[in-house]
């Protein structure tokens, strides 16, 4: 048998059916079950095995997909992650599938809705992305949008919300839809969310006037709906569930009913000019995030001396320990010095809700020494991206002002200011 073959294996107490997966152990045989899970079986325990169907790599004919008049054209840009990938049975690795023919072969329904173009940017695990990658993705989006009606960016889920925030800032004047789509399970697993997320993204683009950066993922654990989240106000909140992404301090943009393909839109979209101006990140800008927790030490703040900015992931309404203990007093003086050198911005590790440094003494002390971010409802990762982008494009005075302004929908002024209102 060879990798990719559908096989049946019998041991003393069970019979298993699945795809034979490559693996490095001499002693074990690995099978991918239809549930998507892999099981390893010790070869010595196998009583019988047989090949039910040999693996055949389908050859896709190029140029088979003609332009369909009257249908919108969408470019799928692949940057990596699980979503437009499948296991390569030759190597056992997950590989990107990115030509239009291969994408259509994997997800045939998308072609019924739109003309599909595709472009490969890379095959990154999203934790490896850097600011220069955001610039590159944005540049390709701009180029594509000169010709097509919308762009879908297939992306690893781990840092997808950082990228959606970054693109929202870079793509100034965006007047067409950009949707980031990820998947928690790869497309060759029975429980994969890749096809549904992608199909819903195409449906939403074709059937709405959405003209911003958004994210399209499962709405709940079942396969009924996808949700369209604002790219700036969402976050991955679960490590494995397919509905891992949730809206933060905002309303969702819309939903797509996967069964009927009906699109629900919950708000209007501003008319914008057609000229995208790229306002890129400076790849060398250094911003840190400091997570506040009990028993924090002042020396941790020292490494930020050479940074350009710092986000504090404060507790509650936006606090860090600066009072009542010698160590905390040291933190206070280090923080005071940092605030003189660079923007230090408070956010809340609660994720939901707003910073309000007016409520407790500590907050007022922090504002006195120059900690910024009061009333911000931007979650820590969004604050991080916004600060780095501001530092890349504006001078010190402007950075401090613009942090508290709503530039692209990142700062929700409608959200109530605190539990005390």
Concerning whether 340 is annotated as a catalytic residue, the answer is no
| Helix intervals (H) in 107-206 | 109-113, 131-145, 160-170, 194-206
Q: Does 157 bind ligand ASP (CB under 6 A)?
A: yes
| 8, 102, 158, 188: residue in contact with ligand ASP (rule CB under 6 A) | 158
Residue 258 near residue 242, CB atoms below 8 Å: no
Among 4, 18, 150, 182, binds ligand ASP (CB under 6 A): 182
The Cα–Cα gap between 40 and 100 comes to: 35
Separation CA 200–CA 347 (nearest Å): 33
**C-alpha span between 110 and 107 (Å, rounded):** 6
| Residues between 125 and 144 that touch ligand ASP (CB under 6 A) | 125-127
Q: Which is nearer to ligand ASP, 86 or 334 (CB)?
A: 86
Q: Which of 18, 80, 214, 230 binds ligand ASP (CB under 6 A)?
A: 80
Whose Cβ is closer to ligand ASP: residue 157's or residue 321's?
A: 157
Cβ distance to ligand ASP smaller for residue 154 or 392: 154
Nearest Cα neighbor of 223 from 252, 183, 251, 188 is 183
Residue 189: both structure tokens together: 């697993």
Q: Which stretches within 171-277 are classed as H helix?
A: 194-206
Provide, rounded to whole angstroms, the least separation between the CB of residue 52 and ligand ASP: 30
Least distance in angstroms from the C-beta of 186 to ligand ASP: 8
Span of 31-39, 77-85, 171-179, 217-225 interacting with ligand ASP by CB under 6 A: 77-85
Exactly one of 79, 82, 154, 159 is catalytic; which is it? Answer: 82
Q: Are 92 and 21 in contact (CB under 8 A)?
A: yes
Q: How far is the CB of 163 from ligand ASP (least distance, A)?
A: 10
Is 188 a binding residue for ligand ASP by CB under 6 A? The answer is no
Query: What angle, rounded to 10 degrees, do the helices at 131-145 and 160-170 form?
Result: 60
The answer to whether the beta carbons of residues 158 and 236 sit under 8 Å apart is yes
Does residue 158 carry a catalytic annotation?
Answer: yes
Tell me if 380 contacts ligand ASP by CB under 6 A. no
Q: What are phi and psi of 270, to 5 degrees?
A: -65, 140
Neighbours of 92 (CB within 10 A): 14
Map residue 365 onto helix, strand or coil: helix
Whole-number Å distance between alpha carbons of 416 and 421: 7
Q: Is 236 a catalytic residue?
A: yes
The DSSP bridge partners found for residue 87 are 94
For residue 81, state whether it binds ligand ASP (rule: CB under 6 A): yes
Q: Is 223 in the active site? A: no
Closest CA to 180 of 200, 196, 201: 201
- Rule CB under 6 A: is residue 156 a binding residue for ligand ASP? yes
Active-site entry in 88, 149, 158, 223: 158
Per-residue mark of binding to ligand ASP, 108-127 (x: CB under 6 A): -----------------xxx
Q: Which is nearer to ligand ASP, 128 or 333 (CB)?
A: 128
Nearest to 72 by CA among 114, 109, 112: 114
Stretch that binds ligand ASP, among 54-62, 74-82, 99-107, 337-345 (CB under 6 A): 74-82
In angstroms, give the least distance from the CB of 240 to ligand ASP: 10
Annotated catalytic residue, options 176, 233, 236, 246: 236
CB of 125 to ligand ASP, least distance (A): 4
Assigned token pair, 191? 């429980």
For binding to ligand ASP (CB under 6 A), which residues are involved? 80-82, 125-127, 156-158, 182
Positions marked catalytic: 82, 157-158, 236
């Amino acid at each position: 048998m060879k990798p990719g073959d559908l096989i049946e294996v019998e041991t003393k107490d069970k019979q298993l059916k699945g795809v034979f997966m490559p693996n490095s152990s001499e002693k074990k045989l690995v099978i991918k079950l239809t549930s998507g899970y892999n099981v390893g079986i010790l070869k010595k325990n196998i009583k019988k095995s047989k090949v039910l169907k040999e693996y055949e790599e389908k050859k896709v004919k190029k140029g088979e997909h003609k332009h369909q008049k009257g249908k919108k054209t969408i470019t799928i840009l692949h940057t990596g992650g699980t979503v437009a990938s499948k296991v390569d049975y030759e190597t056992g690795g997950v590989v990107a599938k990115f030509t239009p023919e291969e994408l259509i072969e994997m997800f045939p329904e998308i072609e019924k809705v739109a003309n599909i173009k595709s472009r490969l940017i890379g095959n990154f695990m999203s934790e490896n992305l850097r600011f220069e990658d955001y610039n590159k993705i944005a540049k390709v989006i701009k180029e594509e949008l000169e010709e097509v009606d919308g762009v879908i960016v297939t992306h690893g889920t781990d840092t997808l919300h950082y990228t959606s925030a970054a693109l929202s800032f870079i793509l100034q004047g965006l007047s067409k839809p950009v949707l980031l789509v990820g998947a928690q399970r790869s497309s060759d697993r029975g429980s994969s969310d890749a096809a549904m997320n992608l199909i819903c993204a195409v449906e939403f683009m074709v059937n709405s006037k959405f003209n911003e950066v958004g994210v399209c993922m499962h709405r709940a654990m079942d396969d009924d709906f996808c949700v369209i989240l604002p790219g700036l106000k969402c976050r991955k909140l679960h490590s494995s569930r397919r509905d891992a992404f949730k809206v933060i301090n905002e309303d969702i943009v819309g939903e797509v009913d996967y069964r009927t393909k009906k699109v629900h839109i919950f708000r209007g979209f501003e008319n914008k000019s057609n000229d995208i101006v790229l306002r890129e990140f400076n790849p060398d800008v250094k911003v840190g995030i400091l997570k506040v927790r009990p028993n924090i030490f002042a020396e941790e703040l020292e490494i930020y001396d050479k940074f350009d900015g710092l986000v504090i992931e404060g507790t509650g309404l936006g606090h860090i320990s600066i009072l009542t203990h010698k160590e905390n007093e040291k933190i206070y003086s280090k923080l005071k010095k940092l605030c003189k050198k660079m923007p230090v911005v408070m956010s809340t590790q609660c994720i939901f809700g707003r910073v309000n440094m007016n409520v407790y003494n500590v907050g007022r002390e922090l504002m006195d020494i120059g900690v910024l971010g009061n009333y911000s409802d931007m979650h820590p990762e969004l604050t991080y991206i916004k600060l780095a982008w501001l530092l890349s494009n504006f001078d010190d005075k402007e950075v401090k002002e613009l942090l508290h302004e709503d530039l692209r929908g990142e700062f929700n002024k409608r959200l109530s200011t605190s539990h005390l209102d």
